[in-house]
Amino acid sequence: MNIKRHIIVLFFLSSIGILNAQKGYDLWLQYSEISDSQLKNNYTSNIKGLKLLGSSATLDVSANEIKNAWNSFFDQEIKNLTEGENLLVLGSKDELSPALQEELKSEFAKINEEGFLIKKVSIANKPAILITAKSDIGVLYGSFRFLKEIQLHNDISDIDIIDSPKIQKRVLNHWDNLDRTVERGYAGFSIWDWHLLPQLIKPEYKDYARANASIGINGTVLTNVNANSLVLTAPYIEKVKALAEVFRPYGIQVYLTARFSAPLESGDLDTADPLNDEVRKWWKDKADEIYAEIPDFGGFLVKANSEGQPGPNNYGRSHVDGANMLTEAVAPHGGIVMWRAFVYSEHDPADRAKQAYSEFVPFDGKFQDNVLVQVKNGAIDFQPREPFHPIFGAMPDTPLMMEFQITQEYLGFSSHLVFLPKLFEETLQSDTYVKGENSSVAKVIDGTLSNKKLTGMAGVANIGTEKNWTGHPFGQANWYGFGRLAWDPYLDSKKIAEDWLKMTFTNNPEFVQPVKDMMLDSRETVVKYMTPLGLHHIMDTGHHYGPGPWVSELSRPEWNPVYYHKANSEGIGFDRTKSGSNALAQYADPIAEKYSSPETTPEKYLLWFHHLPWDYQMENGNNLWFNIATTYQEGVDEVRNMIDTWEKMEKYVDEQRYQKVSMLLQIQLKEAKWWRDACLAYFQQFSNMELPESVPAPEHNLEYYKSLKFPFAPGIRPSWN
């Protein structure tokens, strides 16, 4: 009997673990049961059945999502009906009656091909809620929006929503390799099981598509920007085709990274010169081959002449030559080329931050119409904080695509809680002055400043084989937040955080408000304990895990942290004014003028633009050294506050997710102290000043921190060959 009881208990606990894991797996599509009788009545009295207008795989997906959600919300089935009162009606504009089309004419004029309408209407003289759009994909987006209204416990009695994406290409960039390792991936291996494709279609592929469609992501680049030309061969095209078929009903196009030297590496040609006729034909034939199998293939993402990758410069050609050659291949099929602007010289440059601007701005207006120049949010490399990339204010005649990093390469991997939409929002709201005041980065990338027809935003994915997809439960919020901002780059990160919490955990305000505040503060906290006051690129080498401000022996100068902080007995910081690299001149005059003096430079960018003495007096009356040290300490203290907040949330969260976040926050605290102690131990030898009383002495000496090695840290870049 005791043995049986023990087995029953183990089975029960195991079942709870499976259910809790499912909560993580379901992301923000929890569809938690609504037990409040008043709320339940509001929804079930307004919806008595489901009616589809038309037939397509996408409409079927929409209907199935609503049916599954309805059963989860209310433990009841929503039936397909052809007539009756209070139906939920799904269908595109062309399937509506002429009278209803005319009635909604002004609303349809406000949406684009992916937009949608959700509103109360009369159909056959009976009240109904209509989800409609100009396309079935728009209906799918509207269906997810309708379910979100229920998840947020909003009243639908008089629902009236009109919405459209403001950016066309809303794309995840997977840095996944064909061996299933993921460069800068911290949530397990790649979800693409290339070895078993195309025969084995895992359910995760559909659930991945559902999650992306629910936030409006409409494209995925399956492979690493450090590309392998093997993916362009026939066996892999067949595998990509299988994924494309899964994704198509969800409105998601597949893209591939194109290794520029593929014609050479395939053995077909002895050159990859973009102006060579045989090379141009090779790419046209390759595009024809791909589109014959995948008619809605999105196109290519290219990393060229950067960090050892081949490109047109190898043949004395420009980025324009390379990009325009590839567009000739995909343009007849409606494809695009996303050409990355992440380039910097292999030689000792005056300032790595200036490289991309120097290589791309002279070619403004010379790229073909179906090229998006993909630009990282900052000029260095996805740092915890960077000023916006100056290219966004300098190429008005070229469609520019924002590239954000969702995976936390420089922000504590998946161990640290960092709400990245705050970082994204900071960049998007920055004023470029490209067309005078109020020329925000958001207006540049959504095309409204210069009437661009092709627009895009990319996010480097943080997705892997972890049961909860992203490793850290709160890492899901960064995937979700990217999708929301790609749809509408003017959204408030506060709203994004609040929605995600309600959809993922609970609507209880006693949970939502404090955890939302914690999320919104978290990015600033990480900046404080890693790279305060404009410091940047001081992480350890290779794996980028932990601090390494002392690193100076790498083969290329601009890979070394000492190159960026330039700490010496006189001071610290990178002078990017006229007296230094003059990178500031790449920005519009109002910015250059403001940031030219340390007194008028925002303190968050102070050491990005200025090399200042340790005793430089700052706004609070204390010197620079004091402020660097106390800011590091503030970051550590704020992690402790995060832990205190989370401990009060236990009763609102399932045990599995609560415990995982609790343990990860302890790791974050330990590593925040490590960053503080290692950096201050290193910089103190130059400042030759005592630490403030509020800052404890480092736990170990500098040599200890220098000696730490992490040969198997996750996400290390594999061989590029």
* Maximal C-alpha separation, the chain: 83
- The answer for residues whose C-beta is within 8 angstroms of residue 429's C-beta and 6 or more apart is 440, 441, 442
Q: What is the mean pLDDT of the chain?
A: 95
pLDDT of the residue at 136: 98
Catalytic annotation, residues: 307, 381, 409
Mean pLDDT of the region 579-588: 98
Tokens in use for 265? 């590496």
- With helix as H, strand as E and coil as C, how does 290-353 read? HHHHCCCCCEEEECCCCCCCCCHHHHCCCHHHHHHHHHHHHHHHCCEEEEECCCCCCCCCCCHH
Closest alpha carbon to 588 in 350, 316, 390: 390
* pLDDT score of 21: 61
Q: Is the pTM of this model over 0.95?
A: yes
Provide the terminal-to-terminal Cα distance of the chain, rounded to the nearest Å: 61
Using one digit for the tens of pLDDT, what is the confidence trace for 162-212? 999 999 999 999 999 999 999 999 999 999 999 999 999 999 999 999 999
CA separation, residue 637 to residues 63, 239, 432, 461, 641 (Å): 48, 49, 34, 30, 6
Tell me what pLDDT residue 346 has. 76
Instruction: Tell which residue, 185, 648, 175, 564, has the closest CA to residue 378.
Output: 564
AA identity, residue 524? E
Over residues 643-650, mean pLDDT: 98
Contact assessment for residue 572 and residue 686, using Cβ atoms and an 8 Å cutoff: yes
Residue-level pLDDT at 4: 46
pLDDT of 621 over the 70 cut: yes
What average pLDDT does this structure show over 694-712?
97
pLDDT tens, 249-264?
999 999 999 999 999 9
What torsion do the CA atoms of 129, 132, 137, 140 make, to the nearest 10 degrees?
A: 0
pLDDT of 624 > 50? The answer is yes
**Each residue's pLDDT tens digit, 586-619:** 999 999 999 999 999 999 999 999 999 999 999 9
Model pLDDT, residue 20: 61
- The predicted pLDDT at position 673 comes to 98
Nearest Cα neighbor of 229 from 275, 263, 205 is 263
Percentage with pLDDT > 70 across the chain: 96
* pLDDT-based confidence at residue 147 (cuts at 50, 70, 90): very high
The residue among 215, 288, 204, 214 whose CA lies nearest residue 246 is: 204
Residue ranges and CATH numbers for the domains of the chain are 31-163 (3.30.379.10), 169-176+195-463 (3.20.20.80), 528-574+611-707 (3.90.1330.10)
Distances in Å between the Cα of 238 and the Cα atoms of 110, 241, 288 are 39, 5, 14
Q: One-letter amino acid identity for 463?
A: I
**Helix, strand, or coil here: 547?**
strand
How many Cα atoms sit within 13 Å of 142 on the Cβ side? 35
